[in-house]
A and B are shown apart, each in its own frame.
Chain A
Amino acid sequence: MQMPPPDPRILARRDAIAARLREVVPGAVIDDPAETRAYECDALSAYRCPPLAVVLPATTAEVAAVLRICHQEGVPVVPRGAGTSLAGGSMPTADAVIIGLSRMNAVLETSFDDRFIRVQAGRTNLSVSGAVDAAGFFYAPDPSSQLACAIGGNIGMNSGGAHCLKYGVTTNNLLGVTVVLMDGSIVELGGPMGEAPGLDLLGVVCGSEGQLGIVTEAVLRILPKPAGARPVLVAFDASETAGACVAAIIRAGVLPVAIEFMDRPCILATEAFAHAGYPDCEALLIIEVEGTAPEIDEQLALIRDIAARFSPIEFRESQSEDESRRIWLGRKSAFGAMGQINDYMCLDGTIPVSTLPQVLAGIARLSGEFGLDVANVFHAGDGNMHPLILYNANKPGDLERCEALGAEILKLCVEVGGCLTGEHGVGVEKRELMSSQFSDIDLEAQMRVKDAFDPQWLLNAAKVFPLAVSAPRREGIRNAA
């Protein structure tokens, strides 16, 4: 993985820049090389580089003041939430200032009648639900990292979780943001009503990977909590059968809140780790439905009838809170479990659900060709796959082989009509693969949006677009439009 070389003129001015930043946010600037190390990478820890400096502002006005200085000095800026990005989205370069939002975690306003909450962008995902739980509400998007990840990072990556089959991802639950542009101007997009005149700027800021502006506040839709929820576990003797069962459930018009899929390698690993008591099978589905007890019974009866057509090995319906917890336990510990047995790389491609059998077969074939095992765990209801490629980080050449296999699997996702990433974002990781999904014209159209928000290309600029494609802009040579 390549990053553009740092600008020596900026490195030479390190102390002067830090001094200017200290004037506007005293006590919130870190430039001691020992301390900036804590910010040298995000959850994609294979790539590291300490930043020029880190600033931890406490208010929108401070963020604006810091950006004005960076803008004047021509210094690149990388916004950072909790640093859980798996795509290297918040990884810095040596000439960049990181703006960390972790101190901005307050709840600013809650209106249950209008069904929204306004929070600062550094607030963690789970604590948003925590703030409205007692009143019977919740915030729907639930990335697995929800204990740690921040709302600003969720907006940067348009994150989603297991329950997005029913509730959608971040963009479907985001009503408004306060965002600071690179030149320091503060602007509100959207609002508590979820509709604003003019272009849907909120829609394009969400998922723009910190390249258009720094989100300092967010207005989020909150929903009344359902009366209850119950999962079932359905086991099959072939992955294809499990895939066909998912299609049949959706086709029948039953819309569970979540349908999760795990294959045998993944089940074996999680059993050894978490002892959830999963059956011995080739593939299993965890299907969750919501409502009052009789409503849940009604939905599960339909699902049981449909599943029966695919001769499941087992249909395990939870009868208690404890059983529900155990059904989810294996799924929730899948990533940790895989990490115990091996190093792994987690992919995140999405495919049309109808192509599931074809893609699973393709992954098995590629896994054989590259000589690396692949375990599959994914959100089956919406086709968002997480193949986990197992490799040995200490074995020379293994990481490179793993990356090459990952690229082939993602290209397969694109070939069948899917995309490179369903929820983790492009970052630095999938940047160079973008050309397999988009033409130069398609990429140009996206880059024009960045031109409008950040004409100097200072915000997180070496991400998302293949380096060669973004080079003329990053290097300040404007193509006549």
Chain B
Amino acid sequence: MRPETEDDLSQLIRSAGAPLSPIGGGTRLHPGEGAGERLNVSGLTGITLYEPAALTLVVRAGTTLTEVRKALAAEGQMLAFEPDDRPGSTMGGIAAANASGPRRVQAGACRDALLGVRYVNGQGEIVKNGGRVMKNVTGYDLVKLMAGARGRLGVLTELSFKTAPIPPCSATLALPGLDAAAAVAALTSALTGPYDVSGAAWLPGQGALIRIEGLEGSVAIRGKALTERLAAFGEVAEGDGASWSRLVPQGAEGDLWRIICRPSEAPALLAALPQPLALDWGGSLIWVALPAGEAPALPAWSGHATRVTGAEALTLPAPDPVVARLNASLGQRFDPRRIFAS
């Protein structure tokens, strides 16, 4: 099924008798998703409004990230939350996954840049929430609820985003000698000083990576100060700026796990895991591959681990029962017929 308009989509959902799975580019389906009849939103495309001077973009959900990036770049702008690029990926899928890249440590997640949504709920009703302005506390913030809901509450049809200027200058500092656990201390040191760091990650073979961006003189000043601060952790070299687009591992052997923790907890978790595929967000996001079907054995920590590829969905630890009850209750109220298999 591939509706061409929001009204068609609403009709389709109203008359649906069996579970549906909303699909954008199909590039980020988690285990267990996509089991219903595929509801392809890639027909709902186009930028409906773009005002560079107001930093706002309104776009239909099936529009690809590639197209949006192109339109923004033509005006010297970008999506500050830096969703990772993979061919076919759509804005609806990105919002539904709350996909957020390295600049999240500075500029926030996708949900923080999402200003408004239109969606069709499980009864086929067209709902709008939020808008196109940066400050808006009119009624409940369903925008945040829809971001990251992975299609369980409704099918997103239109989204408005806050855009950001592309910084004129960017520099990456690298500490190539550091292993993952040692890197966390260096990343923490960079993030806890006044350097306005816009990326703090680690990649095998490249070590700790720290990015600073802005006006040319400012980047030079902060780069120098940061280099001095980091000297205690090893030799600081000029890093490869392209690394920032490679922080979401692809094609790993076994199952891919995404582990969220406090940076201060990361070293203990890393000690209990095989070599990670990447660290992001100053050490609070660990990507690691485990043999198919296996779950990590981790010391108690305050975050969670999710299996994002493989045969079966799993999140550890099990959710709190009250949170689970609220999730289920919201799902039931937004989609009483349980049409969205997602």
Question: Which of B133, B152, B196, B221 has a CB less than 8 Å from the CB of A417?
Answer: B133
Q: Which residues of chain B are near A443, meaning CB under 8 Å?
A: 139
| B140 & A189 in contact (Cβ 8 Å cutoff) | no
Distance in angstroms between the alpha carbons of A471 and B118 in the assembled complex: 26
Instruction: Specify which of B52, B109, B139, B322 lies most central, judged by the most chain A CB atoms within 10 Å of its CB.
Output: B139
Distance in angstroms between the alpha carbons of A28 and B128 in the assembled complex: 43
A157 contacts chain B at the CB level, 8 A cutoff: yes
A158-B137 CB under 8 A given contacts A200-B147, A446-B129: yes
A112-B135 CB under 8 A given contacts A251-B52, A453-B326: no
Q: Which residues of chain B are near A339, meaning CB under 8 Å?
A: none
Question: Which of A252, A299, A383, A441 has a CB less than 8 Å from the CB of B125?
Answer: A441
Question: Which of B127, B218, B334 has a CB less than 8 Å from the CB of A442?
Answer: B127
| B139 & A464 in contact (Cβ 8 Å cutoff) | yes
Segment 169-200 of A: residues with Cβ below 8 Å from B: 169, 171-172, 181, 185-189, 191-200
| A164 & B218 in contact (Cβ 8 Å cutoff) | no
Question: Which of A164, A172, A353, A444 has a CB less than 8 Å from the CB of B53?
Answer: A353
A442-B128 CB under 8 A given contacts A185-B322, A193-B262, A203-B144: yes
| A113 & B188 in contact (Cβ 8 Å cutoff) | yes
A367 contacts chain B at the CB level, 8 A cutoff: no
B264 contacts chain A at the CB level, 8 A cutoff: yes
| B193 & A207 in contact (Cβ 8 Å cutoff) | no
Q: Which residues of chain A are near B98, meaning CB under 8 Å?
A: 200
Q: Which residues of chain B are near A248, meaning CB under 8 Å?
A: 53
A382 nearest in chain B by CB position: B134
Q: Which residues of chain B are near A298, meaning CB under 8 Å?
A: 215-218
Distance in angstroms between the alpha carbons of A251 and B327 in the assembled complex: 40
| B304 & A196 in contact (Cβ 8 Å cutoff) | yes
| B129 & A193 in contact (Cβ 8 Å cutoff) | no
Segment 102-138 of B: residues with Cβ below 8 Å from A: 108-109, 111-112, 121, 125-129, 131-138
B323 contacts chain A at the CB level, 8 A cutoff: yes
| B260 & A195 in contact (Cβ 8 Å cutoff) | yes
| B108 & A352 in contact (Cβ 8 Å cutoff) | no
Q: Which residues of chain B are near A157, meaning CB under 8 Å?
A: 137
B34 contacts chain A at the CB level, 8 A cutoff: no
| A250 & B53 in contact (Cβ 8 Å cutoff) | yes
| A113 & B165 in contact (Cβ 8 Å cutoff) | no
Q: How far is the CB of B226 from chain A (nearest CB, A)?
A: 12
| B144 & A171 in contact (Cβ 8 Å cutoff) | yes
| B142 & A204 in contact (Cβ 8 Å cutoff) | yes
Question: Which of B141, B165, B303 has a CB less than 8 Å from the CB of A193?
Answer: B303
A275 contacts chain B at the CB level, 8 A cutoff: no
A111 nearest in chain B by CB position: B264
| A114 & B135 in contact (Cβ 8 Å cutoff) | no
From A123-131, A261-269, A391-399, A421-429, give the one contacting chain B: A421-429
Q: Which residues of chain B are near A207, meaning CB under 8 Å?
A: 137, 140-141
Q: Which residues of chain A are near B326, meaning CB under 8 Å?
A: 187, 199, 201, 452-453
Distance in angstroms between the alpha carbons of A272 and B49 in the assembled complex: 43
| B221 & A295 in contact (Cβ 8 Å cutoff) | yes
Instruction: Specify which of A206, A253, A298, A445 lies most central, judged by the most chain B CB atoms within 10 Å of its CB.
Output: A445
A199-B192 CB under 8 A given contacts A422-B135, A441-B127: no
Q: How far is the CB of A143 from chain B (nearest CB, A)?
A: 12
| B192 & A422 in contact (Cβ 8 Å cutoff) | no
Q: Which residues of chain A are near B133, meaning CB under 8 Å?
A: 350-352, 382-384, 417-419, 422
Encoded as 1 (CB less than 8 Å from any A CB) or 0, chain B from 137 to 165 comes to 11111111101110011000000000011
Q: How far is the CB of B148 from chain A (nearest CB, A)?
A: 5
A434-B76 CB under 8 A given contacts A200-B148, A226-B194, A352-B56: no
Segment 30-70 of B: residues with Cβ below 8 Å from A: 51-56
| A198 & B135 in contact (Cβ 8 Å cutoff) | no
Q: Which residues of chain B are near A198, meaning CB under 8 Å?
A: 319, 323-324, 327
Q: Which residues of chain B are near A112, meaning CB under 8 Å?
A: 192
| A383 & B134 in contact (Cβ 8 Å cutoff) | yes
B294 contacts chain A at the CB level, 8 A cutoff: no
| A204 & B136 in contact (Cβ 8 Å cutoff) | no
Q: Which residues of chain B are near A418, meaning CB under 8 Å?
A: 131, 133
Distance in angstroms between the alpha carbons of A422 and B139 in the assembled complex: 11
Q: Which residues of chain A are near B188, meaning CB under 8 Å?
A: 113
Q: A247-B53, A295-B215 are in contact. List 6 more A-B contacts (CB 8 A).
A: A164-B135, A171-B144, A192-B262, A193-B302, A418-B131, A445-B142
7 A-B residue contacts at CB 8 Å?
Answer: A188-B323, A195-B303, A350-B135, A354-B53, A422-B136, A422-B137, A439-B128
